[in-house]
Amino acid sequence: MGGILLTTNQLLLEGFVHYLAIERRYSEETVKAYLQDLKKFEHFLGASGSVSLSAIRLMDVRLFLSYLDEEELSRNSISRILSSLRGFYGYLVREKVITENPVATISFKNRSTRLPKFLYDEELTKLFETAKGTEPLDYRNIALLELFYATGIRVSECRMICLRDIDFTLGVILIMGKGNKERYVPFGQFALEALEEYLEKGRTPLMNSQQKKHDYLFVNRLGDPITSGGIEYILKQIMKKSGMTGELHPHMLRHTFATDMLNGGADMRTVQEMLGHSSLSSTQIYTHVTKDALQRNYRAFHPRAKRKEERYNN
């Protein structure tokens, strides 16, 4: 009986993965995250004496959330797992496997607002200097850094860019975002020059040497389209070579883009559109940095913001 239930679970999960990848057009990383969360829930059910994913009760979900809390998972992680469960059981309702979504009424509030990590100017400069070189892959790496910082795109969006998506005359790229939503994102002169140099001295030699033909912008050393994991590895190696502590993830460049745009005076709606956020609330987390900038400017320029001794000395 247990084997039959496990097989049923596997079929349900495979169907859900296919739905996310094909119908919802979710990225490989997003699908993998959903599956990881559901496997964690399946493991919990098995340890509790119940195996079937399609026969859970509300109490099963509440016990699972308590278990995650006891495991000291962050509230963000628990909230994400709950979202994965809600999506999975919504899919089972749609497919008429079950009649009601057992997770629909459960909410996990008080989600923490962890501030995003971003890079300072001197750190960015160090990264760009470290990545410079005269080999084909060096030109690719510089182009990757410049494009991430210039546009704030996600790693999954970056790897899907094709040559036909780039308008070098207007300086814009057509990006395919989450949920198959398209948006145009502009890029500046630094990224333009880095891309043109990469196409001439990086991509073309790599493609010719490996006798490859395809339209994807970024390629690996074999001339094949680069993967998200490949991009993350490249950035980690640049960070390691720079001598700076910590890890460099594409999302840090995305956060840095958003932070610098808002600090530079861009309105939040513009930044929301460029980041591909469906809700303005997702963009508002970056305002913590702009508030710091406002405070610094206020202290620097408003006469009543300075201490008396500062006013007298100036």
Tell me the domain boundaries of the chain.
2-94, 121-247
Which among 18, 109, 1 has a CA at the least distance from the CA of 55? 1
Residues 268, 249: Cα–Cα separation, whole Å: 23
**Residue written as token pair 């005269």:** 134
Q: How confident is the model at residue 235 (pLDDT cuts 50, 70, 90)?
A: very high
Residue 13 buriedness (CB in 10 A; 0-12 / 13-18 / 19+):
middle
Q: Which two tokens stand for residue 119?
A: 């890079």
Helix-helix angle 228-242:250-263, to 10 degrees: 70
Give φ, ψ of 184 to 5 degrees: -95, 130
Looking at the predicted structure, is the pLDDT value of residue 1 above 60? no
Lowest mean pLDDT among 161-165, 166-170, 261-265: 261-265
For the segment 66-99, what is each residue's pLDDT rounded down to a tens digit?
778 767 677 788 888 988 999 999 999 999 999 9
Q: Looking at 80, 117, 251, 306, which residue is catalytic?
A: 251
User: To the nearest 10°, the Cα dihedral for 217, 221, 222, 225?
Assistant: -30
* Average pLDDT rounded to a whole number, residues 26-31: 89
Topology at the third CATH level for domain 2-94: DNA polymerase; domain 1 (1.10.150)
Cα radius of gyration (the chain): 24
Which one, of 263, 274, 272, lies nearest residue 151 by Cα?
A: 274
**How far is residue 132 from each of residues 53, 197, 213, 286, measured CA to CA in Å?**
51, 12, 26, 30
| Global confidence as pTM | 0.61
Residue 245: predicted pLDDT: 79
Of the candidates 89, 149, 198, 286, the residue annotated as catalytic is: 286
DSSP category for residue 160: T
Distances, alpha carbon 119 to alpha carbons 95, 230, 247, 261, 280, in Å: 45, 21, 11, 13, 23
Q: What is the pLDDT of residue 251?
A: 83
DSSP letter assigned to residue 264? T
Answer with the residue of higher pLDDT: 13 or 307: 13
The question of whether 18 is a catalytic residue gets the answer: no
d(CA 275, CA 63): 36
- State which H helix or E strand residue 167 sits in: strand 166-167
Tokens of 136: 């084909």
- CATH second-level architecture of 121-247? Orthogonal Bundle (1.10)
Single out the catalytic residue among 140, 159, 203, 254. Answer: 254
pLDDT digits (tens, 9 = 90+) for 109-146: 544 445 567 888 899 999 999 999 999 999 999 999 99
Place 280 in a pLDDT band, splitting at 50, 70 and 90. Answer: confident
Mean pLDDT confidence for 265-291: 78
Active site residue 221: no
Considering the candidates 91, 140, 154, 255, report the single residue annotated as catalytic. 154
User: How many whole angstroms separate alpha carbon 142 and alpha carbon 125?
Assistant: 12
Q: Examine the pLDDT at 307 and tell me if it is beyond 60.
A: no
Residue 240 to residue 243: CA distance in whole angstroms: 6
The 8 Å CB, 24+ separation contacts for 196-205 are 196/168, 197/139, 197/142, 197/143, 198/139, 198/140, 198/142, 198/143, 201/136, 201/139, 202/136, 202/137, 202/138, 202/139, 202/140, 202/143, 203/136, 203/140, 205/136
Q: At how many degrees (to 10) do helices 28-47 and 2-18 cross?
A: 160
In the set 75, 117, 277, 306, the catalytic residue is 277
43 labelled catalytic: no
Active-site residue, selected from the candidate residues 25, 86, 178, 221:
178
- 154 included as an active-site residue: yes
